[in-house]
């Protein structure tokens, strides 16, 4: 399976089982790079860390890599882990004091892959890089397909995608075999201009402007000072532009450090700041293109309007007509000379782009829209020149010129291109809006050793570095990803996650850059900045989605290969047929307009056929709809990873749901307590919590959290000391607290310790299981003292979502690793039939269930949230990951639902269906336009109605078809989710 994107994160669920096997999904899973107690000073760490490389067998795609990477990072003492799925390798940087190679290897094995340690390796061996290239000059799918083929045949290129709508190429290549410079050259060789946007070598890069530097010697001193900094990877400087570009590792250094070094080096003679934003951005390029077409169109009007007036209007005004018909030489009139002079700049200067495009296309052995326009306008222009020269050399020749045809044709096509580029720019609005979310400035705090604020400073938000403390006031945007270290507030995250309700934030909670702080003041510590931030990752994901082609686009690509040659042939046949019919009197002479002869009539029909055919509309039908659809999805918290996911999702007729964390909240809570001994509930929970606080199990944490409610008056919960603590895997725990033996666990644990279970306890356990709850027994000194019922609550609206899916003719199935009793109870609650439930399933069994459904003819979507769902997410036709907060890009999935709301499953399917209906409409319009337009242009209606399509009107129609397809796609911007969802109260829920 093709690699999708580099893994950004998975929401993990521990694989340990205990009684019902419930496991929570943390809202914002933390990924500490350093173990607790380990020094975070760079110099200390570098001496203590070690690097190893493993060969990992069995990985098939990046989803597998994401699973392996997450599992490794969950181990204590892991600083960094990177998994290369293409070469089956995993590189790990770790602290030997906390973890060893064998533990890491066993962890990889536990995920389901076979790992072998590679003794020696080159840490700089990077087998795959990805670069993005902007391509100028593409006009239709023929151009994009040609470039794609040229890149794919280069040795070392693993994958190449060229997007006509975004005018960009995404190339995955082996840097040991080929360089990005060779890729650029290959594109240039096909006749297009290529500009490198980014290469895989740039981890983090910043451009600084330096003022005050006069000579190259001073610049070299600054370079040497910067190169000496730890974490600086590469430098590029320009004395003329007073610019220096720095590539660096963001976890070791940052832009403020660079500015400080530059200014200190020059004894304050030099001033440095972030280089002003300029060329290179997609928006800047788009604006330049819009201005270029606008200027060309306006200049063409300057010449075309007089040509139009002299040929179409003034000929009916007696006084002016006689002046224009005045003969200069033989039959050559003043009007013809004027039209010749005025149309020539339009044909050869303003219309030069069509000559250049035609030459490049023909040189590489293909034909595009430029070829059609160049042939059509040249036929009209040079026949007109022939007519003028005949008139100048003959005393009786009466011919007609078509100068207005060539000039008006070029003008209308330029107008069409201008409107098309204008409309195409709006398809990228989603990305522009996302990028605008980042605030321009931030308030940087300086803290003393005790954590007190000693200074505040307003800085450019691009100068934020890792571990900075930032102050966020009410009404301000959060400047960076991080976590709250002080304060309490509500943050509006709708612009990132689509969650409409403000989310409560307090100490320890994660925040996302670009979100809006609503009331209280927050101090946050920055953890992910620049390209690592959630906002940047979303932008990259949406951009990648817009680059990816939907399979249905292959239809347009196949047609484009033969389209232009076929049109040229049809154009020639049209001219030839009308010419022969006229020559041999195949139609009455009365059909021929008085201003022309049969040859000129035939020529007009031929030119009209040539210029009315539009390959652009076909080429834009799919990518523009995909661009708008993915952008709309992102704004609603549904990230769709490209055309493939969109196309598959609209066909889905079966959805497989995981239970824990998907249909349920994923966070167990104590819902009922029954005491069998005469004691205070607070005293009971103190003994239980003192025992359970030593366990990492999700159910234990639920018990401890519930116990805290009985000690709300205390800020720091200190439980009594537990001695002789023992954890019995799969059963429970025991310890001695206040000289009493406390055992907390399931029925089997009690029986193993010869503890009698009263009838009341048996009844309570049966009642809990019947209600989809987990029953836990507590014994004190060998006697059952109480029963706890723990439940993983159903997500709000889960039943309604299943019901709506049923009305959409989508079958819902539940697959879970939990026990059959709990699984059947949950299924009954949400409305899933008992025969559509699979319980006690291992990760590989979930994937097998998906494959069985596919084999029976279903198009299957899998909805899950954890590592154990990854195999099934990959196996499904469409993998949908329930995500939250900053962990927005679960690699195994094709669609990421950034909120934890199940309603987004319906939104994703409905948006996919709506987008695909728009793609079909685009194809119907584009194909129907050509199928109907070409016969009309060829004169099919002329014999019966006398109607013919002049070439300049045919050209205007061609331009209008492309614009109409783009505008049709743009209507997707007004997409609204199904009204059924508006009547449901399915907001995100939070369990304190």
Cα separation, 418 vs 686, in Å, equals 74
Tokens 């195949």 correspond to 586
Q: What is the pLDDT of residue 655?
A: 93
Token pair in block for residue 284 = 């800047």
% pLDDT > 90, the chain = 9
8 A C-beta contact, residue 786 and residue 743: no
Cα separation, 894 vs 644, in Å, equals 8
Mean pLDDT of all residues in 449-478:
86
Residue 214: pLDDT band by 50, 70, 90 thresholds? low
**Which CATH number, 3.40.50.720, 3.40.50.2300, 3.40.1110.10, 3.30.160.620, labels domain 669-712+720-791?**
3.40.1110.10
| Phi, psi for 977 (deg, rounded to 5) | -65, 160
Cα separation, 796 vs 801, in Å, equals 9
Helix or strand holding residue 854 (H, E)? helix 843-855
**Fold type of domain 204-277:** Alpha-Beta Plaits (3.30.70)
Does the pLDDT of residue 488 top 60, yes or no? yes
Q: What is the pLDDT of residue 595?
A: 67
Token pair in block for residue 312 = 């179409």
Q: What is the pLDDT of residue 119?
A: 66
Among candidate residues 927, 931, 919, the one with its CA nearest the CA of residue 966: 919
pLDDT, averaged across the chain: 78
Sheet holding 654-657, edge to edge: 638-640, 895-897, 878-882, 860-864, 654-657, 811-815, 837-838
Cα separation, 575 vs 572, in Å, equals 5
Token pair in block for residue 366 = 């293909």
Q: What is the pLDDT of residue 207?
A: 78
8 A C-beta contact, residue 755 and residue 779: yes
pLDDT tens readout for residues 347-369:
999 999 888 888 877 876 777 77
CA distances from 369 to 150, 296, 926, 983 (A): 20, 18, 14, 49
The catalytic residues are 658
More confident residue, 217 or 194: 194
pLDDT tens readout for residues 490-529:
888 776 765 667 888 888 888 888 888 988 899 999 888 7
Q: What is the pLDDT of residue 701?
A: 83
CATH class of 50-117: alpha beta
pLDDT tens readout for residues 796-855:
788 888 989 998 899 999 988 776 777 888 888 888 988 888 887 777 788 888 889 988
User: 745 - beta bridge partners?
Assistant: 732, 777
pLDDT tens readout for residues 743-770:
998 888 898 888 888 888 888 888 887 7
Q: How many CB atoms lie within 10 A of CB 843?
A: 20
**One fold for both 129-198 and 204-277?**
yes
Residue 881: pLDDT band by 50, 70, 90 thresholds? confident
**Which CATH number, 2.70.150.10, 3.40.720.10, 1.10.10.60, 3.40.920.10, labels domain 442-531?**
2.70.150.10
Q: What is the pLDDT of residue 577?
A: 93
pLDDT tens readout for residues 883-920:
653 343 356 678 888 777 788 899 999 999 999 898 88
SS3 863: strand
Mean pLDDT of all residues in 960-975:
84
Does the pLDDT of residue 697 top 80, yes or no? no
Largest CA distance in the chain: 128
Does the pLDDT of residue 2 top 60, yes or no? no
Q: What is the pLDDT of residue 340?
A: 93
Among candidate residues 404, 275, 413, the one with its CA nearest the CA of residue 350: 413
Residue 777: pLDDT band by 50, 70, 90 thresholds? very high
DSSP 898-916: SSS-THHHHHHHHHHHHHH
Would you list the domain boundaries of the chain? 50-117, 129-198, 204-277, 279-420, 442-531, 669-712+720-791
CATH class of 129-198: alpha beta
pLDDT tens readout for residues 178-188:
888 888 888 88
Does the pLDDT of residue 17 top 60, yes or no? no
% pLDDT > 70, the chain = 83
Cα–Cα–Cα angle for 80, 84, 88, rounded to 5 degrees: 120
Residue 395: pLDDT band by 50, 70, 90 thresholds? confident
Q: What is the pLDDT of residue 279?
A: 41
Enter the pTM of the model: 0.65
Does the pLDDT of residue 4 top 60, yes or no? no
pLDDT tens readout for residues 532-563:
777 777 777 666 666 666 677 777 767 767 78
Q: How many CB atoms lie within 10 A of CB 863?
A: 27
Mean pLDDT of all residues in 43-56:
63
* Long-range contacts of the stretch 459-463 (C-beta < 8 A, 24+): 459/256, 460/273, 460/274, 462/206, 462/255, 462/274, 462/530, 463/254, 463/255, 463/256, 463/259, 463/274
Cα separation, 815 vs 819, in Å, equals 11
8 A C-beta contact, residue 147 and residue 169: yes
Q: What is the pLDDT of residue 688?
A: 92
């Amino acid at each position: 399976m093709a690699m999708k994107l580099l893994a950004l994160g998975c929401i993990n669920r521990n694989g340990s089982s205990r009684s019902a096997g419930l496991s929570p999904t943390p809202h914002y899973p933390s990924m500490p790079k350093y173990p607790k107690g380990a020094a975070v000073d760079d110099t200390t760490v570098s001496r203590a860390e070690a690097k190893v490389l493993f060969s990992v067998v069995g990985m098939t795609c990046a989803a597998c890599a994401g699973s392996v990477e997450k599992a490794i990072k969950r181990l204590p003492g892991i600083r960094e882990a990177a998994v290369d799925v293409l070469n089956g390798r995993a590189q790990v940087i770790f602290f030997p004091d906390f973890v060893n190679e064998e533990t890491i290897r066993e962890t990889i094995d536990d995920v389901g892959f076979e790992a072998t340690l590679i003794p020696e390796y080159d840490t700089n061996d990077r087998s795959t890089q990805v670069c993005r290239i902007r391509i100028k000059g593409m006009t239709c799918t023929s151009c994009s397909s040609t470039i794609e083929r040229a890149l794919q045949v280069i040795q070392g290129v693993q994958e190449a995608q060229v997007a006509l709508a975004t005018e960009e190429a995404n190339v995955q290549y082996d840097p040991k075999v080929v360089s990005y410079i060779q890729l650029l050259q290959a594109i240039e060789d096909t006749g297009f201009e290529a500009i490198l946007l980014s290469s895989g070598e740039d981890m983090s890069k910043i451009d600084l402007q330096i003022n005050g530097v006069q000579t190259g010697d001073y610049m070299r001193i600054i370079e040497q000072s910067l190169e000496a900094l730890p974490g600086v990877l590469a430098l590029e400087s320009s004395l003329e532009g007073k610019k220096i570009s720095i590539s660096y590792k963001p976890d070791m250094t940052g832009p403020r450090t660079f500015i400080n070094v530059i200014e200190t080096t020059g004894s304050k003679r030099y001033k440095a700041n972030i280089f002003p934003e300029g060329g290179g951005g997609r928006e800047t390029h788009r604006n330049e293109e819009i201005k270029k077409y606008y200027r060309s169109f306006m200049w063409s009007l300057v010449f075309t309007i007089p040509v139009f007036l002299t040929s179409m209007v003034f000929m009916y005004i007696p006084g002016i007509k006689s002046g224009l018909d005045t003969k200069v030489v033989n039959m050559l009139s003043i009007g013809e000379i004027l039209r010749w002079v005025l149309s020539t700049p339009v044909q050869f200067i303003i219309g030069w782009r069509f000559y250049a495009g035609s030459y490049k296309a023909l040189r590489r052995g293909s034909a595009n829209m430029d070829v059609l326009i160049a042939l059509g306008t040249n036929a009209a222009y040079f026949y007109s020149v022939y007519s003028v020269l005949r008139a100048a050399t003959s005393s009786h020749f009466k011919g007609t010129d078509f100068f207005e045809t060539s000039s008006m044709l070029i003008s209308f096509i330029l107008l069409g291109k201008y409107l098309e580029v204008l409309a195409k720019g709006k398809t990228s609005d989603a990305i522009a809006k996302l990028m605008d979310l980042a605030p321009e400035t931030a308030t940087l705090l300086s803290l003393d050793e005790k954590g007190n604020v000693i200074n505040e400073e307003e800085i450019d938000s691009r100068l934020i570095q890792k571990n900075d403390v930032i102050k966020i006031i009410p009404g301000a945007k959060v400047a960076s990803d991080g976590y709250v270290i002080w304060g309490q507030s509500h943050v509006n995250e709708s612009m990132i996650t689509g969650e409409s309700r403000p989310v409560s934030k307090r100490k320890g909670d994660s925040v996302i850059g670009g979100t809006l702080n609503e009331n209280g003041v927050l101090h946050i510590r920055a953890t992910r900045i620049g390209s690592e931030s959630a906002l940047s990752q979303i932008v990259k994901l949406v951009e990648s989605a817009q680059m990816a082609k939907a399979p249905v686009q292959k239809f347009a690509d196949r047609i484009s290969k033969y389209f232009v040659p076929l049109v040229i042939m049809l154009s020639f046949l049209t001219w030839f047929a009308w010419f022969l019919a006229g020559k041999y009197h195949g139609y009455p002479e009365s059909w021929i307009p008085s201003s022309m002869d049969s040859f000129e009539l035939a020529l007009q029909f031929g030119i009209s056929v040539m210029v009315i055919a539009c390959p652009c509309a076909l080429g834009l039908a799919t990518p523009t709809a995909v661009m708008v659809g993915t952008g709309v999805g992102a704004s609603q918290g549904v990230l769709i990873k490209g055309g493939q996911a969109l196309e598959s999702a609209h066909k889905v007729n079966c959805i497989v749901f995981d239970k824990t964390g998907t249909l349920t909240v994923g966070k167990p809570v104590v819902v009922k307590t029954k005491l069998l001994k005469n004691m205070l509930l607070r005293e009971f929970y103190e003994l239980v919590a003192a025992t359970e606080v030593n366990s990492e199990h999700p159910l234990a944490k639920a018990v401890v959290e519930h116990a805290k409610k009985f000690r709300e008056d205390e800020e720091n919960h200190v439980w009594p000391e537990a001695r002789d603590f023992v954890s019995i895997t799969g059963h429970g725990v025991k310890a001695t607290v206040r000289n009493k033996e406390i055992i907390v666990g399931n029925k089997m644990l009690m029986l193993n310790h010869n503890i009698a279970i009263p009838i009341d306890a048996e009844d309570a356990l049966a009642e809990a299981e019947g209600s989809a709850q987990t029953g836990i027994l507590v014994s004190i000194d060998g006697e059952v003292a109480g029963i706890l019922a723990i439940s993983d609550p159903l997500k709000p609206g889960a039943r309604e979502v299943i019901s709506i899916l049923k009305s959409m003719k989508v079958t819902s199935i539940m697959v879970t690793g939990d026990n059959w009793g709990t699984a059947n109870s949950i299924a009954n609650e949400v409305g899933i039939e008992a025969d559509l439930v699979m319980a006690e399933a291992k990760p590989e069994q979930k994937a097998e269930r998906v494959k069985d459904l596919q084999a029976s003819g279903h198009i299957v979507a899998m909805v899950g949230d954890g590592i154990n769902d990854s195999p099934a997410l990959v196996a499904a036709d469409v993998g949908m990951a329930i995500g939250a907060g900053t962990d927005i890009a679960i690699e195994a999935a094709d669609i990421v639902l950034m909120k934890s709301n199940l309603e987004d499953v319906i939104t994703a399917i409905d948006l996919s269906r709506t987008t695909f209906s728009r793609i079909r409409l685009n194809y119907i319009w584009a194909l129907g336009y050509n199928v109907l337009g070409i016969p009309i242009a060829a004169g099919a209606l002329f014999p019966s109605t006398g109607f013919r399509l002049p070439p300049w009107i045919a050209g205007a129609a061609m331009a209008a078809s492309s614009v109409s397809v783009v505008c049709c796609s743009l209507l997707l911007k007004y997409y609204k989710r199904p009204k059924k969802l508006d009547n449901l109260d399915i907001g995100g829920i939070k369990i304190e």
